[in-house]
Structure 1
């Protein structure tokens, strides 16, 4: 097939960044069959998000491996955050090398660069080529807004410091749509002088460069935060919410024969009676919190399905597995999360509050109990509890037995829990309308197609 345009896509290969970007690219590729998309990502991440079925369905997406920064003479064995540092240190040279390789192989110069928003240097690469730069923000609009207002936040903290500001429980009353957010909810990367990590430096560089973008794209929908949406629309050339992608492109059914999660859920006899627990792929709660959560579940006698790796299962209370497994609950090392949340018998989601998990929860009308860990998760949990009112955060963001019991009682059986369920149903309806035929996300996606199709 002869292609008339070549789009370069730069992925950030950590956490759940690359997969949503691939979902965006697959939808663009399906809508623009005359375009060739080159997807630049680390070999490890590519191996995770691409499988035979995905590769066969994307004839106009070509995959390239980018060096992840690990020295060739060693196998990386450090932490997630060390891996991020190595990767960012290798950039942008690692990307420039494969971009040139892709242009030679395909015989077309890249006419547009789409990147994870963290990869701010894509702005410079696009400027050198005289082509549009379209960053993709993989989190919520509320966290993007917090980063955009970094200077104002630092001025508000001033000489008092974050500790005194936190003591006074001050909120971000000066940021549209974030009036209920506390300073202590903010991502630590905003306070660069206290947290000069490679990721914090990268995000601050991103904030400086985003105004140069042609359009900013989010896997979200305008109606979840209309005040934030309108404010950010006033700051950028195009601010395009095009999701939730899970409602447009549901996860293909995955075999459940190894874990039996769905068959176990089928055997539960009451709708909305099961608590699903998962904290993503990066972080596991400390042992004392795992114990507190387990004891709370057993005390409340609430049916549960818990995705917990085998190593962490060793921290559970003595005899807990024998007393509960396949009776009161089921513990598995991995669960097909989107299918689990969509099951009629799941009534609450105990989550780290990553953005993808929140979208999956909203898309399945499931309320949340939040235990945030890092990054934007504290801010997300504040929005879940105080702005969207579709869940609660465990007190002080830490599992204790008594506080976890209180959270379970509130979400599962109280009048307040009924209100949360009604709120999440309403938000779900807004999300479905957004991706509908005349919805805001549908129109924004059409605008994105225009932008990447425009002559340079």
Structure 2
């Protein structure tokens, strides 16, 4: 799929420099750079977002990072609201983004021929229009959450009439099992006090059709066909390129003794499909009362558990919990998650439903217990429970001792859990086939390379 051309193509790539957004975008660019070695890729982010991902070796010569400002006024001290820095970056607008183009053109001496941007960086449309080049958007969250942003006006109108949390959104094509409670707050909460970030997301329905292509961090084979059909009717090109944070098929597990955390050696001593793995990623921490309920449920269940919990949070656990569970539980400040989920002894994953975590669980065929927190977590949890049927959302939406014990027994003991495990293996096989040479992702990546090369 290598493209050769006499003219030098130069793609400017705009990252949304927050959370887990930069890594999938860089991984996509790595694929494109390999497929099109004569194309230059200028990866434009902030110093804070670029530094960690470009400190790794093996970045090809045709990818180069450039830093722009984060929009935070000099001397301003950020508060505790995580959306504040997002708003500052978006407020800096296309003028800030243009500075990245200027740096890249001055360095490479090549004009920009195409723009690829994280879909959250909506001001990049103005840059693309001014340069008169194709504008390609990448959607790192779960694909189906796009639907909520296309139908934001209808959803808000519907919620104004009936805001019952358990109400089904049966007007969303292919997603009729979604409920009001699953939606991101930015979708349901309009009004005068709406943040710039929320307004940006609400504008996506009008903005996305102007993109030459919208690229999904997912496999088409896992999405409801009616949803795919609906999106294709609205967009110029709707391209699925597979999980951008994983290499499928997954590599074999390394020798257990090479894992310095001790997780794999500990898992080696447990029975097959018996271990509860608990982790909420790097961004999310459940509130203290939920950490207590979680600990109480793990202790009461008696199942072996591996919990990735930062050291400073251990003081919130019930008194004596660590001693009482030391013979069947292990707590570590960080776990090699992809390898843990690939271990045969893991039977269930208690997760916040972040995309990367769910993709790793799906790829390893591990059922999930979902406790969504924000953003697309709720819609992802609903897909896990009601579309793929490979897990459950936690009862009542928050951790309680009884609710979690009930979910653990459901998956690890009951007949229903056996069916979920079987379905999780079926979904895993679907992913392996979808990632292969005959899957749609290979063809869609080829289409994306052709769009870039013909720009």
Could you state the TM-score of these two structures normalised by the residue count of structure 2? 0.93
Q: Indicate yes or no: 2:136 matched with 1:139.
A: no
Task: Give the alignment of 1:1-400 within 5 angstroms.
Answer: 4-53=8-57, 56-73=58-75, 76=78, 78-158=80-160, 160-162=161-163, 165-166=164-165, 169-194=166-191, 196-225=194-223, 226-245=225-244, 246-248=246-248, 257-268=259-270, 270-325=271-326, 327-400=327-400
Map of 1:429 onto structure 2 = 429
Query: How well do the aligned residues superpose, as a CA RMSD in angstroms?
Result: 2.1
Distance 1:256 1:315, change over 3 A: farther
The structural deviation recorded for 1:80 is 2.5
Question: Deviation at 1:148?
Answer: 1.0
Structure 1 residue 29, shift from structure 2 partner? 0.7
**How far apart, CA to CA, are the structure 2 residues paired with 1:257 and 1:422?**
29
Whole-Å separation in 1 of the counterparts to 2:439 and 2:259: 38
Residues 69-103 of structure 1, C-alpha deviations (whole Å, 9 max, x = no match)? 23344665644222222222223332211211111
8 Å CA contact 2:272, 2:346 repeated in 1: yes
Q: Deviations over 1:283-328 (max 9, x none)?
A: 2001111011111111111111111112222111111122324x31
Q: For residues 187 and 177 of structure 1, do their structure 2 counterparts lie closer, same or farther at Cα, with a shift above 3 Å needed?
A: same
Contact 1:141–1:229 (CA under 8 A) maintained in structure 2: no
Match of 2:3 in 1: none
415-424 vs 68-77, which deviates more? 68-77
Instruction: Using the TM superposition, name which of 249-258 and 312-321 deviates more.
Output: 249-258
- The answer to whether the 8 A contact 1:119-1:206 is kept is no
SS of equivalent to 2:247:
helix
Give secondary structure in 2 for the equivalent of 1:227: helix
Q: Relative to 1, partners in 2 of residues 1:342 and 1:140: Cα closer, same or farther, differing over 3 Å?
A: same
1:371 CA drift (Å): 0.4
Over 3 Å counting, the alpha-carbon distance change for 1:252 and 1:134 in structure 2 is farther
- Verify the 8 A CA contact 2:14 2:44 in the aligned structure 1: yes
Listed as ranges, the gaps of 5+ residues in structure 1 are none
2 CA distance for matches of 1:443 and 1:14?
30
1:237, 1:252 → 2: CA distance? 39
Given that residues 244 and 431 in structure 1 are in contact (C-alpha distance below 8 angstroms), is that contact kept between their aligned partners in structure 2?
A: no
Is this contact kept in 1: 2:71–2:92, CA < 8 A? yes
What are the ranges of 5 or more consecutive residues in structure 2 without an aligned counterpart? 1-5
| Cα pair distance change 1:250/1:88, threshold 3 Å | farther
DSSP 3-state at the match of 1:84 = helix
| TM-score, structure 1 normalization | 0.93
In the alignment, the residues of structure 2 paired with residue 85 and residue 198 of structure 1 have an alpha-carbon distance, to the nearest angstrom, of 6
Distance 1:257 1:423 in 2: 30
Paired residues in the alignment total: 445
Offset from partner CA, 1:250-287 (integer Å, 9 cap, x none)? 5898996542222222232x121111111121120011
Q: Is the 8 A contact 1:284 1:312 kept in 2?
A: no
> Residues 120-139 of structure 1: CA distance to partner in whole angstroms, max 9, x if unpaired?
11112111111111110011
